[in-house]
């Protein structure tokens, strides 16, 4: 877990999400790194992305419409790893593409491609046996989700076997459409950080540098996805410079948040 430890040790981290196969993915990934992203989440396109709002749903359809396969995603991941040996890379998606060939196959392909962690939205911690043991055996972190409805009784189960970082889903809803109140985020992050040594990154509904900076004052990381995906939707294969420019505004806001609060 040295890449994760390094990424989060420098202060609040910018965690960015884009969908594999949407636009010029390799160029967009490079643009995110150039713009200051500390951790990359690469979405695995899926027909029924139940946690995602309209922007990422549309990105899934664009990627699938181009014929993007799981093999393509691992090729993108391996190429990214060769270009960016130190930047943590997370695959985020849903159970079917991850388990249809068996969890051991998926975990082995992740390790071979240099993937650091996996977020599987629809395998809850209670069903960890479906994927978690295979990932851990391959040295890949199962990254868990906590939500506003994760109570004190369930949180230990969420944290058991988790790795990389804890992803706090700040709204009880889908990506991109809502934003949680800052006070509720601060309370939730304080509660989570009292329960785990894992870094806590906050996502869902973060769209502007100003929002990101406020969250970065209390969280270890801030996740931005839909706003980036919308840039790719608007600019297609020519999105990379726009992605880099927006990532830079986010990175500057997040990385300066603790200094400004001091």
Residues annotated catalytic, as ranges: 41, 52
Per the CB < 8 A criterion, the answer to whether 18 and 230 are in contact is no
Q: How far apart are CA 7 and CA 9, in angstroms?
A: 6
Q: How far apart are CA 150 and CA 177, in angstroms?
A: 21
| C-alpha to C-alpha distances, 57 to 9, 18, 133, nearest whole angstrom | 33, 12, 29
- Could you give phi then psi for residue 74, rounded to 5 degrees? -65, -35
DSSP secondary structure letters along 121-185: TTS-GGGGGGTHHHHHHTT-EE--EE-TT--TTTHHHHHTT--S-EEEE-SSS-TTS----HHHH
Pair of tokens at residue 60: 């899934």
Pair of tokens at residue 236: 């297609």
Q: How far apart are CA 103 and CA 107, in angstroms?
A: 6
Per the CB < 8 A criterion, the answer to whether 71 and 48 are in contact is no
Helix (H) or strand (E) holding 213: helix 209-216
């Amino acid at each position: 877990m040295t890449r994760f430890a390094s990424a989060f040790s420098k202060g609040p981290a910018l965690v960015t999400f884009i969908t594999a196969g949407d636009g010029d993915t390799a160029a967009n990934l490079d643009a995110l790194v150039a713009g200051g992203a500390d951790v990359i989440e690469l979405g695995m396109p899926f027909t029924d992305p139940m946690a995602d709002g309209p922007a990422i749903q549309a990105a899934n359809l664009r990627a699938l419409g181009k014929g993007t396969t799981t093999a393509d995603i691992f090729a993108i991941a391996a190429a990214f790893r060769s270009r960016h040996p130190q930047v943590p890379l997370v695959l985020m998606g849903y159970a079917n593409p991850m388990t249809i060939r068996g969890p051991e196959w998926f975990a082995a392909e992740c390790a071979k491609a240099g993937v650091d962690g996996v977020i599987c939205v629809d395998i809850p911690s209670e069903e960890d046996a479906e994927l978690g043991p295979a990932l851990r055996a391959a040295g890949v972190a199962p990254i868990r989700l906590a939500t506003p409805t994760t109570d004190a009784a369930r949180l230990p189960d969420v944290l058991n076997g988790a790795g990389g970082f804890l992803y706090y889903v700040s709204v009880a809803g889908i990506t991109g459409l809502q934003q949680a109140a800052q006070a509720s985020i601060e309370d939730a992050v304080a509660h989570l950080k009292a329960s785990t040594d894992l870094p806590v990154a906050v996502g869902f509904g973060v769209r502007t540098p100003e929002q990101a900076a406020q969250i970065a004052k209390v969280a270890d990381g801030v996740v931005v996805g839909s706003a980036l995906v919308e840039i790719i939707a608007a600019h297609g294969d020519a999105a990379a410079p726009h992605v880099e420019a927006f990532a830079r505004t986010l990175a500057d806001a997040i990385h300066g948040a603790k200094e400004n609060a001091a």
